[in-house]
Copies of this chain bind each other. A is one copy, B any other.
Amino acid sequence: MDGFDKVTGAAKFAVDLVIPGAVHGKILRSPYPHARIVSIHTTEADRVPGVLAVLTGKDLSDIQPYFGRSEFLNAPPDHPIIAIDRVLYAGEPVAAVAARDGAAAEEALSKIEVEYEPLPAASTVAEATAPGAPQLHSFASNNICFHDHVERGDVENGFAEADLILEDTFEFPMVYHYSMEPHTTIAQFDSDGITVWSSSAHPFIMRQQIAEIFRCPVFRVRVIIPFVGGAYGSKSGAKIDPLVVALARKARRPVRVTQSVSEAMMTVRRHAATCKIKTGVKKDGRLVAKRAELFLNTGAYAENGPIVTSKAMIRVLGPYRIPHIKIDAYCVYTHTVPAASFRSIGAPQSAWAAESQMDMMAEKLGIDPMELRFKNLLKRGEEIRPKGTPLDADLFEGLHKVKEALRWDGPISRDGKGRGVSFGVTDAGSPLASIATVHLDADGNAVLLCGTSEIGQGARTIMSQIVAEELCLPLERVTMRPTDTMYTPYDRSTGSSRSTTVMGRAVQEAAQDAREQLLRIASRSFEIPPQQIRLDDGNVLVGDRKISYGELIGRHFATGGGEVIGRGSLEKMRSEPARNPLFWEIGIGAVEIDVDEETGRIGIAKYVTAADVGKAINPMQCEGQDEGSAMMGVGHTLYESIIYDNGQIVNPNLIDYRVPAFEDTPKEFECILVENGDGPGPYGAKGMGEAGIIPPAAAIANALAWKTGARIKELPLTPERVWRALRDKRKP
């Protein structure tokens, strides 16, 4: 619905907004990964003409200066909105300037004198958990921010039954989200309260966080969300927003901070992970036991690292029947950029390890890797994780379709390409906290208020389709308003593949509520029971009598105006049996690759991605999301890694940090949507768009191993790394 506006540039993103009187904000960042701040002198900076405010940690004494996602952490929020007394990663904001123009702000930044006392730092999990490592937060001994554990059966007995046991360690890199739009926030602090224009996927969570920081009720905080240029988790919860509000408060002006890509990379990233995984299997290929220890590098502040860690723990299980499991997952503080949500939290890391090992076992057992998976796949209704919702999908159907698409007859194709396959399984879940209202006006058009952020995923189209369907209206007569928390009903968040499923249900309920009211009004008007009334294309039909919705509503209110408001707050969904997860999100990836053994370069000849979506409300959007998700997975598989050296990111830009370009897309790219109407969303839909990113890493590494014999356990599979592996293999 908004494609035209996006393509022509009419769609307004935060950076396009002109806020009267807004001045420029710039951030001074720590050069040290760990240091005590001895002093900050801002006098010279304050004197730069045009400077309105210089903000430091000293300005936060009257507010609650720490934020975080305390619902995930058994400790107070740990993240200062700007450094107070110490810095815990290189790039951490230490001071910020608001000035009439960007040049003055930059000049002022250069005149802020910060005296640091550098301290030893730990960038990796290994360094942070080593004896004598510097401790980041007092409550987290050994820098363990959070630990989670799950167990089923008796894993030692399981291993005793096994015919083959593999034990490996896999490394997953730090990854940058690269949403096309880096974080942009404009904040205003005046007698009306706090107003924030932000490229956020979580307007209501951010509103709550800002209210807590600035100690005011939520209704005094207004968050306005324009179009958002991609999020992928990087815009979940508050990021730079509280800092910008504090700067606006001090400057007594609206302040705009537009981050560069480098700054966005210093704001949030995906968790790197070290996955130790030990799997036991019978000769015939039946899995019997799995033991794993996962260590997630969560950076300097917790953000939602704990929930990412818990999800990684579950997601390492995959869609297989494993009687005995014992998994520990650790969230570890390090002196690096805070890690937080990233599309399919925790899953690519875990699946990279588990699905690589599946093919290693297949090779040792002499079983086709596709076959090995079929042998262990769970059936609909079986348990994936202890106490969780039983499997709600037909995995066999999906895997068969992928197998057919690749005409699979073994891990090497007839024309000599390496083949790999991998599953991605996530346990999407979210509280039933989404509310929508549908306003049917006296023009007979429907206006939808729902707080889902349009982050490029096409939410406006999906939500409008649901309204159109329920109200028997053509799609062009439905419009969804942008989110403004001053008016828009509450929504928990845009993320966790929850919008279509959860908000979609709220929207459906709201539209149905409007429909029922419309029928009641028509019933009174025609003096006929509602059951004898039909709705069609914006008209109410009773026998051969016909009246448009608008006319009916206008008459009802006796003004030609008026509106019917339908309300949906998931009352019906809440009365259904509780599900946790809400649904299992399943993705399958399979690949055919070429390998240039001279350079180590991997080329993707064909990629098949399958998503079990329950019902594709908009098949084109589903395909677009699933293919985009798979390509994002190709990114961390072949190219992407934030590289730290001596506590510093050495590639914080899009030249040195390589993301996939159009020429990197597979020569053949196929998307399969599995639709069995078995999801809890509207019309049987499940959330989607997060599973596709999971399989590429193991699928491609598996294909590489089948093709060349080189098994690489560290991502990304750069030409250099592949070349070295091939060289090492050739060595005697």
- Using a CB–CB distance below 8 Å, which chain A residues touch chain B? 5, 10, 18-21, 71, 191-192, 204-205, 208, 211, 217-219, 431-433, 435, 437, 439, 441-443, 445, 447, 449, 477, 479, 481, 484, 486-490, 492, 557-565, 567, 569
What's the least CB distance linking A140 to chain B, in Å? 24
Q: Are A561 and B443 in contact (CB under 8 A)?
A: no
CA distance A211 to B234 in the complex (A): 40
* Shortest 4 CB-CB contacts between residues of A and residues of B: A487-B487, A18-B20, A433-B557, A431-B558
Q: Are B490 and A488 in contact (CB under 8 A)?
A: no
CA distance A558 to B449 in the complex (A): 22
What's the least CB distance linking A440 to chain B, in Å? 11
CA distance A558 to B570 in the complex (A): 13
A18-B21, A19-B20 as given contacts; A488 in contact with B487, CB under 8 Å:
yes
- CB-defined contacts of A431 to chain B, threshold 8 Å: 557-559
Most buried by B among A19, A21, A488, A562: A562
CA distance A490 to B219 in the complex (A): 22
Taking the full assembly, how many copies of this chain does it contain?
Answer: 2
Which residue of chain B lies nearest to A220 when distances are taken between CB atoms in the complex? Answer: B479
A563: contacting residue among B442, B490, B558, CB under 8 A: B490
A557-B431, A565-B435, A567-B565 as given contacts; A441 in contact with B218, CB under 8 Å:
yes
Q: Are A563 and B479 in contact (CB under 8 A)?
A: no
A567: contacting residue among B19, B21, B192, B567, CB under 8 A: B567
CA distance A10 to B487 in the complex (A): 21
- CB-defined contacts of A564 to chain B, threshold 8 Å: 569
Q: Are B439 and A562 in contact (CB under 8 A)?
A: no
CA distance A39 to B451 in the complex (A): 53
Q: Are B562 and A10 in contact (CB under 8 A)?
A: no
Q: Are B443 and A565 in contact (CB under 8 A)?
A: no
CA distance A561 to B217 in the complex (A): 12
What's the least CB distance linking A389 to chain B, in Å? 16
Q: Are A562 and B20 in contact (CB under 8 A)?
A: no
Most buried by B among A218, A486, A557, A559: A559
Q: Are A5 and B441 in contact (CB under 8 A)?
A: no
Q: Are B5 and A435 in contact (CB under 8 A)?
A: no
CA distance A441 to B488 in the complex (A): 12
- CB-defined contacts of A211 to chain B, threshold 8 Å: 443
CA distance A192 to B227 in the complex (A): 13
A437-B437, A558-B431 as given contacts; A487 in contact with B563, CB under 8 Å:
no
Q: Are B560 and A490 in contact (CB under 8 A)?
A: no
Chain A to chain B contacts (Cβ below 8 Å), 20 pairs: A5-B191, A71-B560, A217-B443, A218-B442, A218-B445, A219-B443, A219-B445, A431-B558, A432-B557, A437-B437, A437-B565, A439-B489, A486-B487, A487-B487, A487-B488, A489-B565, A490-B561, A490-B562, A492-B559, A564-B569
A441-B218, A441-B219, A443-B219 as given contacts; A563 in contact with B486, CB under 8 Å:
no
CA distance A13 to B479 in the complex (A): 29
Q: Are B21 and A561 in contact (CB under 8 A)?
A: no
- CB-defined contacts of A5 to chain B, threshold 8 Å: 191
CA distance A217 to B5 in the complex (A): 19
